[in-house]
């Protein structure tokens, strides 16, 4: 098996998760280096990572590194993608791809020019249940899909995190925006969003919302509804359904265990898994397996830069809609780039 020597930029929660998954469960990769200004040296040494640095360029410019995994703060993503692309590296980048459309379009122009493999970390596409719904919708099992409904509610929050999260649409719902496009296989052309502060007044102080409902209209006329909450006391609530003219596909929550109690006066089951690290553990593995296969066989990325841009554009439109109280229209395409070109290694 040919090993992909990967360098990881960012050693926060998600960077550490990827590093540990690669070291313990993905033998097709080798973690050649990791960089973070506040690197946990003891942790990195325990994993046996040979190159430990505070500077991302030490990985980007290293001749023995094949690919870069970007798990740094969001405002650094486009700059680091460009640098890695120009250095001839394949790139896996956590969401969001960037924070402004201008920056992203410039970044993707470089990616296209360099023929860089770029995969965006929308890990939920690789969840076995959601991926099964996607395949079955595409196979025509429910006929013409006409409605997608996504429920995504977090079990809890930290105000320190909320202060720097970028807002509910950019931080949380962006996964759901991508999932809606993925399941319906269509771009969104209109967004209408409403939000409230119902959980804690601190959200309002951060100019954010803790509860939101978003309506989507797709280019093929289909509709979508997403509901979000920052506090679901019963666990990490993640449900999806797609309705078509011939049937319905539904993915329920994954529970802490599968045992049910049936009694005279009640029926009980376990709560959903508590947090995203548990709920999407297999998806995090699967998305890197897909990245490896694309790198090894020089195949198109399964989650392209176009996907990253479209999710961000929907998030920005949702913010605009919430501020104006009106639906916001989007154009599905941008410039002369196409989905097939962006994030593909020639």
Q: Is 340 a member of any domain? A: no
- Check whether residue 175 and residue 261 sit in a common domain: yes
pLDDT of residue 164: 79
Q: 288 Cβ partners below 8 Å, 6+ apart?
A: 18, 21, 22, 26, 29, 92
Structural domain that includes position 221: 125-329
Same structural domain for residues 103 and 135? Answer: no
Instruction: Output the CA torsion sign for 195, 122, 129, 231.
Output: negative
Asked whether 237 and 194 are in contact (CB, 8 A), the reply is: no
Does one domain contain both 199 and 282?
yes
Confidence of residue 277 (pLDDT cuts 50, 70, 90): confident
Give how far Cα 13 sits from Cα of 27, 36, 71, 158, 341, Å: 21, 12, 9, 14, 32
Residue range 101-109: mean pLDDT, rounded: 96
Q: Are residues 285 and 221 in the same domain?
A: yes
Digit-coded pLDDT (tens) for 175-225 = 999 999 999 999 999 999 999 999 999 999 999 999 999 999 999 999 999
Instruction: Look at residue 189 and give its three-state secondary structure.
Output: strand
Residues 16 and 88 in one domain: yes
Q: Is the pLDDT confidence value at 334 over 50?
A: no
Q: For residues 100 and 50, state if they share a domain.
A: yes
- Among 82, 107, 122, where does a domain finish? 122
Q: Over 70: is that where the pLDDT of 343 sits?
A: no
The structural domain count of the chain equals 2
CATH number of the domain bearing residue 87: 3.40.50.720
Query: How confident is the model over 133-167, as pLDDT tens digits?
Result: 999 999 999 999 999 999 999 998 888 888 878 89
Residues 173 and 264 in one domain: yes
Whether 116 shows a pLDDT value over 70: the answer reads yes
| Residue 127 to residues 54, 91, 193, 204, 281, Cα–Cα distance (Å) | 33, 21, 26, 33, 9
Distances, alpha carbon 260 to alpha carbons 82, 232, 243, in Å? 51, 21, 28
Among 94, 122, 150, the domain-final residue is: 122
166 and 264 belong to one structural domain? yes
Band of pLDDT at residue 290, cut at 50, 70 and 90: very high
The answer on pLDDT for 340 being more than 50 is no
Q: How confident is the prediction for the chain on average, in pLDDT?
A: 93
């Amino acid at each position: 098996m040919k090993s992909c020597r990967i360098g990881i930029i960012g050693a926060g929660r998600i960077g550490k998760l990827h590093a540990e998954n690669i070291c313990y469960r993905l033998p097709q990769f080798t973690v050649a280096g990791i960089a973070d200004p506040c690197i946990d040296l003891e942790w990195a040494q325990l994993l046996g990572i040979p190159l430990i640095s505070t500077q991302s360029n030490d990985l980007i410019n290293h001749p023995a590194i094949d690919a870069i995994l970007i798990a740094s703060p969001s405002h650094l993503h486009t700059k680091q993608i460009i640098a890695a692309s120009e250095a001839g590296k394949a790139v896996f980048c956590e969401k969001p791809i960037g924070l402004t459309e201008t920056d992203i379009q410039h970044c993707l122009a470089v990616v296209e020019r360099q023929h860089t493999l770029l995969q965006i970390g929308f890990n939920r596409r690789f969840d076995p249940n959601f991926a099964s719904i996607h395949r079955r919708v595409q196979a025509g099992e429910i006929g013409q899909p006409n409605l997608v409904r996504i429920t995504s509610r977090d079990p809890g929050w930290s105000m320190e995190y909320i202060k720097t999260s970028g807002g509910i649409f950019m931080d949380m719902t962006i996964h759901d925006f991508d999932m809606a496009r993925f399941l319906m296989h269509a771009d969104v052309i209109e967004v209408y969003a409403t939000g409230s502060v119902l959980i804690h007044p601190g959200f309002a102080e951060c100019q954010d919302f803790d509860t939101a409902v978003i309506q989507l209209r797709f280019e093929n006329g289909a509709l979508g509804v997403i509901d979000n909450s920052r506090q679901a006391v019963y666990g990490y609530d993640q449900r999806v359904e797609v309705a078509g003219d011939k049937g319905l596909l539904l993915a329920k929550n994954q529970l802490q265990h599968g045992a049910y109690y049936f009694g005279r006066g009640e029926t009980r089951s376990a709560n959903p898994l508590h947090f995203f690290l548990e709920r999407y553990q297999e998806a995090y593995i699967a998305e890197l397996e897909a990245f490896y296969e694309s790198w090894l066989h020089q195949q198109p990325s399964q989650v392209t830069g176009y996907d990253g841009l479209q999710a961000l554009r929907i998030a920005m439109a949702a913010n605009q809609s919430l501020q104006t109280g009106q639906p916001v229209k989007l154009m599905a395409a941008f410039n002369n780039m196409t989905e097939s070109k962006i994030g593909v290694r020639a």
